[in-house]
Structure formats: structure tokens, C-alpha cells
């Protein structure tokens, strides 16, 4: 998949003489890639969403079983934050894996 940038270098150096060409190659354009390899998106999405749903389940079980007085707000917020981080990244990668490039 990785293509050498030589084609584009030639494109830019075309009107220049050969002494300039060395300089051009030194500052040759580097291809920009995605922060995470595109092939990983489906698996990442599945893993993160499963993790997210696990934490969501944990959150709701905690909400339903602990009594009003014993419930700790900090614990709730922390679980909610972890669950939403997992769900957020999971759904982002789900969008990317299905071809909706946000």
C-alpha cells in the first residue's frame, strides 16, 4: 500500500535543473497517513463498543442496585466517563469502518 513519493518529486522538480533536484529530495513531501491504520477500524470499533456496552451495563446495574443513600456521585461520574469514552471512540470507528469518513 505504501507508495514511494518519487513520482510526486519528479513532478515538482520537472522544470528545475539537476542541482536543485538534490535539495528537493531532501525536503521531499512525506505522505500523510491516518493516525490509526484503516484496516483496524472494524476490529477496533467492535472491541471499543463491547467495552463501552460493558461499562454501560455496569453503570445501570450500579444505578439500579445501590440504594439512594449509599450511591457515590464520584463513582457514578467516573463509570459514566469511562463508558462514554469507550462508546464515543467505538461509534467513531464504526462510522469510519462503514465508510462515513467524518
Partner 1 sequence: MAIVSRFAFFLLWISVLSSTTHSELVISRIDRRVDLSSHIVRALFSLKVENVGSKVVSEVLLAFPNMQAKNLAAIKTLYNEGRGKVKASSVSLPTTVVEPEGMPPELTFYSVSLPKGLEKGGTVSLDILAIFTHSLQPFPEEITQADGQLVVYQDSAYYLSPYTVKVQTLGIRLPGGRVESYTKFPNAKLVDSEITYGPFENFPAFSYSPVIVHFENNYPFAVAHELVREIEISHWGNVQITEHYNLVHGGAKTKGGFSRLDYQARASVRGASSFNHLIFRLPPRAHSIYYRDEIGNISTSHFWGDSRKTQLEIEPRFPIFGGWKTSFTIGYGLPLQDFLFKVDGKRMLNITFGSPMDEVIVDNLIVKVVLPEGSNGISASVPFPTKQGEEIKYSHLDIVGRPVLVLEKSNVVPEHNLYFQVYYHFNNLSLLGEPVMLISGFFLLFVACIVYMHTDMSISKSSASYLAKIQLEEVQATVQQIQNIINQCLAVHDKLDASLRDLSRTGDVQSCKIARKTADAQLKELVKELKPLATFLHHSPQASHIWPKVEELVAKEKDMQDKMFLRHSTVVDCFEKKLGGREIENRIASQQQKLAAVRQEVDDLLEFLDEI
Q: Which residues bind partner 1 (CB under 8 A)?
A: 1-3, 5, 8, 11, 15, 27, 29-38, 52, 59-60, 63, 66-71, 73, 76-77, 80-81, 83-85, 87-89, 91-92, 95-96, 99-102
Tell me whether residue 50 or residue 77 sits nearer to partner 1 (CB atom): 77
Smallest distance from partner 1 to CB 13, Å? 12
Smallest distance from partner 1 to CB 100, Å? 6
The values of phi and psi at residue 67, to 5°, are -80, 160
Tell me whether residue 43 or residue 77 sits nearer to partner 1 (CB atom): 77
Burial category of 24 from C-beta neighbours within 10 Å (exposed 0-12, middle 13-18, buried 19 and up) = middle
Q: CB 41: neighbour CB atoms within 10 A?
A: 19
C-alpha cell recorded at residue 44? 477496533
Smallest distance from partner 1 to CB 60, Å? 8
How far does Cα 97 stand from its chain's mean position? 11
Place of cell 463491547: 50
Amino acid at each position: 500500500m505504501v507508495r514511494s513519493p518519487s513520482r510526486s518529486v519528479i513532478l515538482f522538480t520537472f522544470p528545475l535543473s539537476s542541482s536543485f533536484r538534490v535539495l528537493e529530495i531532501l525536503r521531499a513531501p512525506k505522505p500523510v497517513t491516518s493516525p490509526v491504520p484503516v484496516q483496524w477500524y472494524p476490529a477496533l470499533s467492535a472491541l471499543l463498543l463491547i467495552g463501552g456496552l460493558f461499562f454501560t451495563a455496569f453503570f445501570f446495574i450500579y444505578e439500579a442496585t445501590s440504594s439512594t443513600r449509599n450511591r457515590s456521585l464520584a463513582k457514578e461520574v467516573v463509570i459514566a466517563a469511562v463508558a462514554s469514552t469507550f462508546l464515543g471512540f467505538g461509534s467513531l470507528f464504526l462510522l469510519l469502518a462503514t465508510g462515513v469518513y467524518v
